[in-house]
Copies of this chain bind each other. A is one copy, B any other.
Amino acid sequence: MNDFEKDFDYLGRIQDYYADNRCLPSYARLMGLLGFASKSAVSKLLARLQLQGFLTRSADGDWAPTDRFFERTLSSQPVPAGMPVAARDVGSDAFAIDQYLIERPSDTLLIPVKGDSMIDAGIHEGDLAVIERRNRANSGDIVIAIVDNEFTLKTLGREQGRFVLLPANPAYPVIRPKAELEIFGVLVGLVRKYRG
Protein backbone atom coordinates (compact mmCIF):
# COMPACT_ATOMS: atom_id res chain seq x y z
CA MET A 1 0.00 0.00 0.00
CA ASN A 2 1.55 3.25 -1.09
CA ASP A 3 1.19 6.58 0.66
CA PHE A 4 -1.80 7.59 -1.39
CA GLU A 5 -3.69 4.41 -0.62
CA LYS A 6 -2.72 4.65 3.02
CA ASP A 7 -4.21 8.12 3.34
CA PHE A 8 -7.30 6.85 1.56
CA ASP A 9 -7.60 4.06 4.06
CA TYR A 10 -7.30 6.60 6.86
CA LEU A 11 -9.98 8.70 5.19
CA GLY A 12 -12.26 5.68 5.08
CA ARG A 13 -11.97 5.19 8.80
CA ILE A 14 -12.72 8.82 9.43
CA GLN A 15 -15.75 8.53 7.16
CA ASP A 16 -16.94 5.49 9.08
CA TYR A 17 -16.51 7.32 12.35
CA TYR A 18 -18.47 10.23 10.98
CA ALA A 19 -21.28 7.93 9.86
CA ASP A 20 -21.49 6.53 13.37
CA ASN A 21 -21.08 9.70 15.37
CA ARG A 22 -22.20 12.38 12.95
CA CYS A 23 -19.17 14.39 13.95
CA LEU A 24 -15.47 14.33 13.16
CA PRO A 25 -13.33 12.66 15.82
CA SER A 26 -10.94 14.63 18.01
CA TYR A 27 -7.21 14.31 17.55
CA ALA A 28 -6.99 12.00 20.51
CA ARG A 29 -9.66 9.69 19.14
CA LEU A 30 -8.09 9.77 15.71
CA MET A 31 -4.92 8.47 17.28
CA GLY A 32 -6.75 5.40 18.48
CA LEU A 33 -8.79 5.10 15.34
CA LEU A 34 -5.85 5.25 12.94
CA GLY A 35 -3.23 3.59 15.08
CA PHE A 36 -1.09 6.66 15.59
CA ALA A 37 0.89 7.22 18.76
CA SER A 38 1.19 10.96 18.43
CA LYS A 39 -1.08 13.83 17.68
CA SER A 40 1.32 15.43 15.27
CA ALA A 41 0.86 12.48 12.95
CA VAL A 42 -2.86 13.19 13.06
CA SER A 43 -2.23 16.86 12.45
CA LYS A 44 -0.17 16.16 9.35
CA LEU A 45 -2.69 13.66 8.01
CA LEU A 46 -5.50 16.17 8.36
CA ALA A 47 -3.41 18.73 6.53
CA ARG A 48 -2.91 16.24 3.70
CA LEU A 49 -6.61 15.46 3.54
CA GLN A 50 -7.34 19.16 3.48
CA LEU A 51 -4.99 19.57 0.51
CA GLN A 52 -6.83 16.78 -1.28
CA GLY A 53 -10.10 18.57 -0.59
CA PHE A 54 -11.76 16.13 1.77
CA LEU A 55 -11.69 18.37 4.81
CA THR A 56 -11.81 22.05 5.49
CA ARG A 57 -11.92 24.47 8.35
CA SER A 58 -15.24 25.82 9.48
CA ALA A 59 -15.83 29.47 10.24
CA ASP A 60 -15.09 28.68 13.87
CA GLY A 61 -11.76 27.11 13.04
CA ASP A 62 -12.91 23.55 13.55
CA TRP A 63 -12.37 20.79 11.07
CA ALA A 64 -15.37 20.09 8.89
CA PRO A 65 -16.03 17.65 6.06
CA THR A 66 -16.36 19.00 2.53
CA ASP A 67 -18.71 17.85 -0.20
CA ARG A 68 -15.98 15.59 -1.46
CA PHE A 69 -15.89 13.88 1.91
CA PHE A 70 -19.37 12.53 1.16
CA GLU A 71 -18.67 11.28 -2.34
CA ARG A 72 -19.13 7.56 -2.73
CA THR A 73 -17.62 5.12 -5.15
CA LEU A 74 -19.63 4.43 -8.27
CA SER A 75 -18.59 1.25 -10.00
CA SER A 76 -20.23 -0.64 -12.80
CA GLN A 77 -17.52 -3.20 -13.37
CA PRO A 78 -16.62 -6.01 -11.01
CA VAL A 79 -13.33 -5.52 -9.23
CA PRO A 80 -11.11 -8.27 -7.89
CA ALA A 81 -12.02 -9.48 -4.42
CA GLY A 82 -9.90 -8.12 -1.64
CA MET A 83 -9.38 -4.77 -3.23
CA PRO A 84 -10.31 -2.02 -0.84
CA VAL A 85 -13.24 0.06 -1.98
CA ALA A 86 -11.51 3.22 -0.94
CA ALA A 87 -8.73 2.74 -3.44
CA ARG A 88 -10.63 4.01 -6.41
CA ASP A 89 -9.79 1.59 -9.11
CA VAL A 90 -10.17 1.91 -12.80
CA GLY A 91 -13.76 2.09 -13.91
CA SER A 92 -14.87 3.64 -10.66
CA ASP A 93 -16.02 7.15 -10.10
CA ALA A 94 -16.88 9.48 -7.28
CA PHE A 95 -20.50 10.24 -6.73
CA ALA A 96 -22.64 12.23 -4.31
CA ILE A 97 -26.11 10.79 -3.81
CA ASP A 98 -27.81 13.94 -2.59
CA GLN A 99 -26.54 16.05 -5.41
CA TYR A 100 -27.62 13.41 -7.87
CA LEU A 101 -31.18 13.38 -6.60
CA ILE A 102 -31.70 16.93 -5.45
CA GLU A 103 -31.38 19.81 -7.86
CA ARG A 104 -33.23 22.49 -5.91
CA PRO A 105 -32.56 21.79 -2.25
CA SER A 106 -34.69 24.57 -0.86
CA ASP A 107 -37.76 23.26 -2.70
CA THR A 108 -37.17 19.61 -2.00
CA LEU A 109 -38.35 17.47 0.85
CA LEU A 110 -38.55 13.84 1.76
CA ILE A 111 -41.84 12.11 2.41
CA PRO A 112 -42.24 8.48 3.50
CA VAL A 113 -44.45 6.40 1.24
CA LYS A 114 -47.52 4.86 2.81
CA GLY A 115 -49.46 2.00 1.36
CA ASP A 116 -48.94 -0.07 -1.75
CA SER A 117 -50.98 1.86 -4.29
CA MET A 118 -47.89 2.52 -6.44
CA ILE A 119 -46.37 -0.92 -6.12
CA ASP A 120 -46.37 -1.59 -9.86
CA ALA A 121 -44.22 1.49 -10.33
CA GLY A 122 -41.68 -0.01 -7.98
CA ILE A 123 -42.62 2.31 -5.14
CA HIS A 124 -43.05 0.44 -1.89
CA GLU A 125 -44.35 1.28 1.53
CA GLY A 126 -41.60 2.82 3.61
CA ASP A 127 -39.66 4.14 0.64
CA LEU A 128 -38.65 7.75 0.87
CA ALA A 129 -40.10 9.89 -1.89
CA VAL A 130 -37.95 12.82 -2.95
CA ILE A 131 -40.45 15.54 -3.74
CA GLU A 132 -39.83 18.82 -5.46
CA ARG A 133 -42.50 21.35 -4.51
CA ARG A 134 -44.45 22.59 -7.48
CA ASN A 135 -48.09 23.39 -8.20
CA ARG A 136 -48.09 22.22 -11.76
CA ALA A 137 -47.10 18.98 -13.37
CA ASN A 138 -47.43 17.17 -16.65
CA SER A 139 -49.54 14.19 -17.43
CA GLY A 140 -47.43 11.14 -16.76
CA ASP A 141 -45.53 12.67 -13.87
CA ILE A 142 -45.78 10.99 -10.52
CA VAL A 143 -47.02 13.63 -8.13
CA ILE A 144 -47.91 14.22 -4.52
CA ALA A 145 -51.43 15.60 -4.48
CA ILE A 146 -53.54 16.66 -1.55
CA VAL A 147 -56.82 14.77 -1.43
CA ASP A 148 -59.06 14.94 1.63
CA ASN A 149 -56.35 16.62 3.61
CA GLU A 150 -53.93 13.79 2.99
CA PHE A 151 -50.86 13.37 0.87
CA THR A 152 -51.40 10.98 -1.99
CA LEU A 153 -48.70 9.74 -4.32
CA LYS A 154 -50.07 8.89 -7.74
CA THR A 155 -49.38 9.17 -11.43
CA LEU A 156 -50.98 12.25 -12.94
CA GLY A 157 -53.26 11.43 -15.85
CA ARG A 158 -55.86 13.12 -17.98
CA GLU A 159 -59.42 12.16 -18.73
CA GLN A 160 -61.53 14.37 -20.96
CA GLY A 161 -59.43 17.41 -20.23
CA ARG A 162 -59.46 16.88 -16.46
CA PHE A 163 -56.61 15.72 -14.31
CA VAL A 164 -57.01 12.40 -12.56
CA LEU A 165 -54.79 10.42 -10.22
CA LEU A 166 -53.80 6.97 -11.39
CA PRO A 167 -52.61 4.37 -8.88
CA ALA A 168 -50.11 1.77 -10.03
CA ASN A 169 -52.00 -1.09 -8.46
CA PRO A 170 -55.13 -2.65 -9.95
CA ALA A 171 -56.63 -2.99 -6.47
CA TYR A 172 -57.01 0.78 -6.22
CA PRO A 173 -59.46 2.99 -8.07
CA VAL A 174 -58.63 5.97 -10.22
CA ILE A 175 -59.16 9.16 -8.22
CA ARG A 176 -61.29 11.72 -10.06
CA PRO A 177 -61.30 14.89 -7.95
CA LYS A 178 -64.52 16.85 -8.03
CA ALA A 179 -62.92 20.21 -7.47
CA GLU A 180 -59.63 21.50 -8.73
CA LEU A 181 -56.83 19.02 -8.16
CA GLU A 182 -54.24 20.39 -5.75
CA ILE A 183 -50.76 19.31 -6.64
CA PHE A 184 -48.24 19.55 -3.85
CA GLY A 185 -45.10 18.47 -5.64
CA VAL A 186 -43.52 16.18 -8.18
CA LEU A 187 -41.64 12.97 -7.51
CA VAL A 188 -38.05 13.47 -8.62
CA GLY A 189 -36.41 10.61 -6.79
CA LEU A 190 -36.88 7.56 -4.65
CA VAL A 191 -34.82 6.21 -1.79
CA ARG A 192 -35.17 2.81 -0.21
CA LYS A 193 -33.32 1.37 2.71
CA TYR A 194 -32.98 -2.36 3.29
CA ARG A 195 -32.28 -4.18 6.53
CA GLY A 196 -34.29 -2.33 9.12
Contact = CB atoms under 8 A, between A and B. Distances in A.
Interface of A: 9, 11-13, 15-16, 18-24, 29, 58-60, 62, 64-65, 67, 70, 72-81, 84-92, 94-112, 119, 122-124, 127-128, 130, 133, 135, 141-142, 146, 149-151, 182, 184, 186-195
Contacts of A74: 109-112, 128
A155 to B, nearest CB: 11
A182 B102 CA distance: 35
A98 B106 contact: no
A77 to B, nearest CB: 8
A108 B193 CA distance: 13
Contact of A191 (B22, B62, B190): B190
Contacts of A194: 142, 187-190
Contacts of A182: 81
B19 A102 contact: yes
Contact of A106 (B79, B91, B190): B91
A73 B118 CA distance: 22
Contact of A72 (B60, B91, B94, B110): B110
A85 B101 contact: no
Contact of A23 (B62, B79, B80): B62
Nearest to A9: B106
A96 B90 CA distance: 15
Contact of A86 (B76, B106, B188): B106
A12 B106 contact: yes
Nearest to A192: B190
